[in-house]
Structure 1
Amino acid sequence: MLLQCMKERGGVRISFRALKRAQTELQICEAATGSCRMGILELTFILVFYAVSAEIHKFGWYKHIYRENKKPANQVISFIDDIPTGIYNSKTKIFKYINGFGSEGKLFVPESIQTAHCQICEALRYGDYDDLVKDTNTTYMNDDFFFLQFVKGCELDTESGTVSSFTYYALNGVHFMHVDQKISRWVSSHPASQRIVQIWNKKFGIYNIISEKECHERLQKNLDWLYSKTDTPKVNILYREPDGTDPSSLMCHVTRFYPRDIDVIWYKGNISLENEQIRGETLPNADLTYQVEVVIEEPESTADYHCVVKHRSLKENELSMVWAPQTANSKIITWICVFVLLPLIAGIIICCIKQIKKSHSQ
């Protein structure tokens, strides 16, 4: 829906309160555990502009500038794919690696250098913020509040070896302007940004777009660290009886997995049902692992169905769970257990209790 919204309207609107909440949750998580994943909103802003797959990896920085007590404030999150690797904000003025990133020293830029870089960029980005607000305030929005989102980075396709850079700006949740790397120019995504785009194109070189060589080197060095970040999927099979409006169905619910890329396929015996099954969206959990549901409708009660899951975290790369439907005979056995064995067991227990009481009274 968010991607469709961007395609149709040329922008993505994001709640200011939701943004603040997502960032607060990230800060609490980092402070308490030292380990947390990208907030849902930051992740959405980053992923909305380009495809995600097992072969494509990216690194970069997400920045959020806003006003706090009438003064500009900002937060910076560095990331690889959808995992935050470091955090900086204008209150602490210190950059800190998180999620175990930076533990191998020589592969990473020291925190002190990252801190200095963030502090220098802070003043420059406040200038960007003021320019955009002044320009937009007369043509587009009121001045109740403004917040600027900025994402810059690059991606590497490990299959083809191709590298590409990206730079996007959004103001008050609306995709505003971006860099077209092919022509090395800023491109306006909203009428209110046209004048500022013309100005920025005159000084394009100062924005230090990430080079293909730098992108390739950084990602290649960090792929081993990235591949170590995995969570194994948990699989449950649920059967739903027909209810008059909906047919019976089998659902394979796969959850708590990371990374996001996963294959889930229903089989009937040895026959794949990939073309018949209904797959829902892959959604984030509260702990920012992922979950997905895959459904088949009107399963045969006597057929052999099993759900096969393929994921990078699995040692054998595959997990299979079989659905065992209750046949008529198994239902009869169940009722025998309920109406015969349980009363019999209860009777034996009562007799034993009476016998014990009788022996104590004597």
Structure 2
Amino acid sequence: MKTRSSCHRMFACFIYFLTHTCPTVKHSLKYFVTGSSGVPNIPEFVGVLMVDGIQTGYCDSSSKTLQPQQDWAKKLLENNTQQRDWYNKKCFEDQPKLFKDTIFSLKQQFNQTVHILQMIEGCEWDENTGEVTGVLLYGYNGEAFMDFDLKTLTWIALKPEAVITKQKWDTDRLRIKHKENDLTNICPAYLKMYVDHKKGFSQKKVLPSVSLLQKSSSSPVSCHATGFYPGRAEMFWRKDGEEIHEGVDPGKILTNNDDTFQMSVDLIVSSITPEDWRKYECVFQLSGVEDIVMKLNEAVIRTNTEENIRKENASSMMIPIIAAVVVLVLILGAAVGFADYKKKKSE
């Protein structure tokens, strides 16, 4: 039985083919790196690897251990010493030294106690057209700081205080050449290898535990699925058999600490009459297996305080604490700045 998503994709391909070709498939490889000075209880260096938006690897200066977080990535590093050595050098030698030196240099410019330097580096690859785009952005203390222009091979200062650093970095032609090679050759080659490896990797199919949660009687009902694998799934609410979007808050797929995944989708029920509740149902779809359907039934909803929800789902909802702190908190300011900058740039 074809899933709703596969049918939609087939239909989209058919319509698009009448005038063009089938919609493109894009893949991404991104490194989220954070260096800090003067921040207690956080490693001075943290690196997170994301492949197609899913956390795949992690390292930090405290554990001194490279931690692949997907089965296919573990298998790849076990059999590919060149990859393992490259990431070990990137995590524990080259990047930490660069970040430490850069933060020390920036300390001379800014009279601040806490210093946080962040970097987003990576590439995107269009599997159909072969087009490759690279990105290299720096943030400093929660604000967009520097952008690398691959066309001109120069740095762009994103705030007045970054001009001095731009002038210094522009003179380092050796580093610029290295970055150009990283973004246009190494990153795309690794990304293509990962995509091929994932496709050839025998992935297991694990169904999730699905439950309905609600903090209070006036809160939205959250349909929560956890423990599924692989991480390519969809979940949505429907009424009378039709998918609905109004009053629905879709969530993102998150990684659990056991290599499985979780996601949730919220439904605002305050405007739904009691007699209409039976018309609603939550649907979880994982390619190749039968859909899981949960009826909107007050009798099965678990109403808990935030603290109880956190305790009951701790085992499934945990992601590495340091990674969560750094990626979701420290990088938040820079990520927002980066997103705003890229949006304005594209406009």
Amino acid at match of 1:291: M
Task: Mark the runs of 5 or more structure 1 residues left unpaired by the alignment.
Answer: 1-53, 327-362
- Tell me the distance in 2 between the aligned counterparts of 1:156 and 1:74: 28
Amino acid at match of 2:211: N
Residue 238 of structure 2 corresponds to: 267
Superposed CA offset, 1:223-272 (max 9, x none): 2655749864433346999x7xx6xx9835123256776533333333x2
- Give the superposition deviation at 1:187: 1.5
Task: Mark the runs of 5 or more structure 2 residues left unpaired by the alignment.
Answer: 1-23, 300-347
Q: 1:320 aligns with which of 293, 315, 319?
A: 293
Amino acid at match of 1:181: L
* Mapping 1:209-248, distance limit 5 Å: 209=179, 210-223=182-195, 226=198, 228=203, 232-237=207-212
Q: 1:74 aligns with which of 42, 45, 48?
A: 45
- Tell me the distance in 1 between the aligned counterparts of 2:158 and 2:93: 29
- Give the superposition deviation at 1:192: 1.0
> Cα distance 1:179–1:324, how it changes in 2: closer, same or farther (>3 A)?
same
- Tell me the distance in 1 between the aligned counterparts of 2:145 and 2:205: 35
TM-score by length of 2: 0.58
Question: 1:123 and 2:129 equivalent?
Answer: no
- Give the superposition deviation at 1:164: 1.6
Task: Determine which structure has greater relative contact order: mean sequence separation of CA pairs < 8 Å that are 6+ residues apart, divided by chain length.
Answer: 2
- Tell me the distance in 2 between the aligned counterparts of 1:285 and 1:174: 27
Residue 108 of structure 2 corresponds to: 134
Residue 264 of structure 2 corresponds to: 292
Residue 284 of structure 2 corresponds to: 309
Q: Do the aligned partners of 2:47 and 2:60 also contact (CA within 8 Å) in 1?
A: yes
- Tell me the distance in 2 between the aligned counterparts of 1:88 and 1:202: 30
Residue 246 of structure 2 corresponds to: 276
- Tell me the distance in 2 between the aligned counterparts of 1:318 and 1:162: 35
Residue 190 of structure 1 corresponds to: 159
Amino acid at match of 1:264: M
- Give the superposition deviation at 1:154: 1.6
Q: Do the aligned partners of 2:33 and 2:45 also contact (CA within 8 Å) in 1?
A: yes
Residue 103 of structure 1 corresponds to: 75
Q: Whose radius of gyration is greater, 1 or 2?
A: 1
Superposed CA offset, 1:1-44 (max 9, x none): xxxxxxxxxxxxxxxxxxxxxxxxxxxxxxxxxxxxxxxxxxxx
> Cα distance 1:265–1:320, how it changes in 2: closer, same or farther (>3 A)?
same
> Cα distance 1:229–1:193, how it changes in 2: closer, same or farther (>3 A)?
farther
Identity of aligned residues (%): 16
Q: Do the aligned partners of 2:48 and 2:55 also contact (CA within 8 Å) in 1?
A: no
SS of residue matched to 1:315: coil
Q: Do the aligned partners of 2:37 and 2:103 also contact (CA within 8 Å) in 1?
A: no
Please tell me the root mean square deviation across aligned C-alpha atoms, in Å.
4.1
> Cα distance 1:107–1:165, how it changes in 2: closer, same or farther (>3 A)?
farther
* Mapping 1:197-208, distance limit 5 Å: 197-207=166-176, 208=178
Q: Do the aligned partners of 1:250 and 1:299 also contact (CA within 8 Å) in 2?
A: no
- Tell me the distance in 2 between the aligned counterparts of 1:160 and 1:277: 37
